[in-house]
Amino acid sequence: MAALLEIEKLVVNATGGADYPAPVIQGVSLQLEAGEVLALIGESGSGKTTLALSALGYAKPGLEFRAGEVRLNGDDILAMAPDEKRSLRGQRVAYLAQSAAAAFNPALRIGAQVTEASVLHGQLSQAEADRRAADLYRALGLPDPDHLGRRYPHQVSGGQLQRLMAAMALCTRPDLLVLDEPTTALDVTTQIEVLKAFKDVIRQEGAAALYVTHDLSVVAQIADRIAVLYAGEIKEYGSVDEILHRPKHRYTRQLIDAVRPPPDTALGPLEAKDAEQDVPALEVTNLTAGYGRKQASGQLLKVLRDVHIRVERGHTLGVIGESGCGKSTLARVISGLLPAMQGEVRLKDEPLEPSLRQRERRQLQEIQFVFQMADNALNPHQRVDQLLGRPLEFYFGLSGDAKKQRIAELLHMVELPPEFSGRYPEELSGGQKQRINLARALAASPEILLCDEVISALDTIIGASIIRLLKRLRQQTGVAFVFISHDLSAVASFADDIAVLYAGQVVEQGPARRVLAPPYHPYTRLLIASVPELDSSWLERTLALRETRASIDQAVEITDRGCPFYRRCPVAIAGTCDRETPPSHTLDQGYTIVCHRSEAELRRGSFS
């Protein structure tokens, strides 16, 4: 039988021609059989989204189809009249956008948006469509399927929205699904369930799918075949197995190398130093911080509660936790952007004023903050040399050639050619921006770098290269890091010590190899279990684990009584965990777990 989707010698150009050095898609051909899942993998800018969208006969504004054919069940989509295209879209081919939060219309009820297409294309009556939607909600494991539709997008969680979008796409029973990085924006723990849901639904609906992503380990779970896209061309094309285990093309190998091995007891941290016993570079003691006015205790929202952390000179403390656990707040408190309510921050044993206004310039210079989003952290109206030059003037009064030279050094440190000093941020790629962002912090030759999610916005390969860079910098400069991330494997591959943060509290803390080995705090275990592996069977395996099943997509809630993890904890002791604040077991020097369970119980490993 003929393939469901055939793309032949497709060429896509930018309308503004001259702006782009090359076509976005240059003569790509591929085929997709009914019911199979094809993963398009590649870094940002590789044209994978553009290629996927061609299956809907759609080119983003600024792009246009130049040559080639896209056939769905034999009929050429690109040649279609507008009306034909319209009846094709949403009906025979459905699209799942990268960010459901953005793709759902904030002004309309969810149900209306999910059923809209099928009703408009005259497939179903509104009533039927609603029933179909409810079924899909159920299939996707969404709570309260019968009333979910009446809610507005902002009223459900990110993970749920992502699945709701799947429902929206599937409602019309399309032959082909186009999924554009549907899990990238999610926390690891959430990602599993969403992946699972997609996988199951795609199977039972028997739809074919184009799955666009940059994350091989995700692909491994869901795809039948993989097309590796680079610079608008397909570099390699084959079954998951071939690609993962017998990669031919260099770029594919790069991708595979970039996938950080899952942390487990086998792999300790890379350079584990023993904590020297002199004064730590940074110490935070029983810190409590939050937003809202202090006096009005009612409105007061505590984001961090009674946090102790310690960063040795030249060491790296990894702070890990899901979004909303307060890790960014921690960085802001340390930097002084957000004055703490209680507790103190000590820099090399000298107490710092809570607010940066009262801190001395020297203290400010020794703690540097590297912000999560380089795009927002770099003023688009300043050239690189201005961005890097300012701290040099500001802290060291450098100017003229001395400054130029130092800037050149800094660029070299972050592996960028000196001519970049003349560029504006918008002329740089994401990775390059992040490097400039780092270089600016380094310009202050600080004692401590606060890195807040510095790689989470980047593609795997680029992320990996940044990590490599950080490691090198740590050796060269002996600077200490507070490395904040939601990506356990990233932390594991870089940190000497790890603090696991949940709902504003440190639940486990200690040297990386101890934290990443039993005994685990139940939450740490959940995190570890959730990190996808380059193995197609991983998803099923990990979902079999009790703790992951137990804690399916529960919203993180901040409680004052008992253990914050209680509602998600598979080993929670009713009557205790929900009432009393859990004790902190100090297992040995600098290694603590905060849990009601005894060390022995915890050590007994997987509770399954």
Q: Nearest distance from residue 252's CB to other proteins, in Å? A: 11
The residue among 106 and 575 lying less far from other proteins, judged by its C-beta, is 106
3-state SS of 246-278 is CCCCHHHHHHHHHCCCCCCCCCCCCCCCCCCCC
Q: Nearest distance from residue 51's CB to other proteins, in Å? A: 15
The residue among 116 and 322 lying less far from other proteins, judged by its C-beta, is 116
The residue among 432 and 485 lying less far from other proteins, judged by its C-beta, is 432
Q: Nearest distance from residue 447's CB to other proteins, in Å? A: 14
d(CA 103, CA 91): 18
Q: Nearest distance from residue 183's CB to other proteins, in Å? A: 17
The residue among 376 and 606 lying less far from other proteins, judged by its C-beta, is 376
Q: Nearest distance from residue 328's CB to other proteins, in Å? A: 11
Q: Nearest distance from residue 362's CB to other proteins, in Å? A: 10
Closest CA to 213 of 191, 197, 245: 191
First-to-last CA distance in the chain? 46
What residues pair up with 69 in beta bridges, in sequence order? 8
Q: Nearest distance from residue 553's CB to other proteins, in Å? A: 16
Q: Nearest distance from residue 459's CB to other proteins, in Å? A: 9
Q: Kindly report the number of other CB atoms within 10 A of residue 300's CB atom.
A: 13
The length of the chain is 608
Strands 63-72 and 75-76: antiparallel
d(CA 284, CA 501): 14
Residues contacting 287, CB < 8 A, separation 6+? 304, 306, 307, 308, 330, 333, 340, 342, 343, 344, 345
The residue among 273 and 471 lying less far from other proteins, judged by its C-beta, is 471
Q: What are the C-alpha distances in Å from 269 to residues 52, 264, 336, 367?
A: 39, 10, 30, 24
Q: Kindly report the number of other CB atoms within 10 A of residue 363's CB atom.
A: 18
The residue among 235 and 404 lying less far from other proteins, judged by its C-beta, is 235
Residue 347 phi/psi, 5-degree rounding, is -105, 115
Residue 380: exposure state from Cβ atoms within 10 A (0-12, 13-18, ≥19): exposed
d(CA 269, CA 162): 34
Q: Nearest distance from residue 177's CB to other proteins, in Å? A: 12
Residue 15: exposure state from Cβ atoms within 10 A (0-12, 13-18, ≥19): exposed
The residue among 213 and 465 lying less far from other proteins, judged by its C-beta, is 465
Coil vs helix vs strand at 521: coil
d(CA 337, CA 357): 9
Q: Nearest distance from residue 21's CB to other proteins, in Å? A: 6
| Sign of CA pseudo-dihedral 352, 356, 358, 362 | positive
The residue among 57 and 582 lying less far from other proteins, judged by its C-beta, is 57
Q: Nearest distance from residue 157's CB to other proteins, in Å? A: 10
The residue among 346 and 390 lying less far from other proteins, judged by its C-beta, is 390
Q: Nearest distance from residue 376's CB to other proteins, in Å? A: 4
- Cβ distance 67 to 23 under 8 Å? no
In single-letter form, the type of residue at position 6 comes to E
Residue 328, both tokens:
């960014």
The residue among 168 and 473 lying less far from other proteins, judged by its C-beta, is 168
Q: Nearest distance from residue 93's CB to other proteins, in Å? A: 8
Half-sphere exposure of 459 (CA within 13 A, CB side): 19
Q: Nearest distance from residue 557's CB to other proteins, in Å? A: 13
Which strands form 282-291's sheet, in the order they lie side by side?
Answer: 301-311, 282-291, 342-347, 350-352
- Cβ distance 55 to 40 under 8 Å? no
Residues contacting 112, CB < 8 A, separation 6+? 149
The residue among 235 and 471 lying less far from other proteins, judged by its C-beta, is 235
Residue 54 phi/psi, 5-degree rounding, is -60, -25
The residue among 43 and 547 lying less far from other proteins, judged by its C-beta, is 43
d(CA 562, CA 600): 21
The residue among 87 and 477 lying less far from other proteins, judged by its C-beta, is 87
Q: Nearest distance from residue 425's CB to other proteins, in Å? A: 9
Residue 85: exposure state from Cβ atoms within 10 A (0-12, 13-18, ≥19): middle
The residue among 21 and 74 lying less far from other proteins, judged by its C-beta, is 21
The residue among 420 and 494 lying less far from other proteins, judged by its C-beta, is 420
Residue 410 phi/psi, 5-degree rounding, is -55, -45
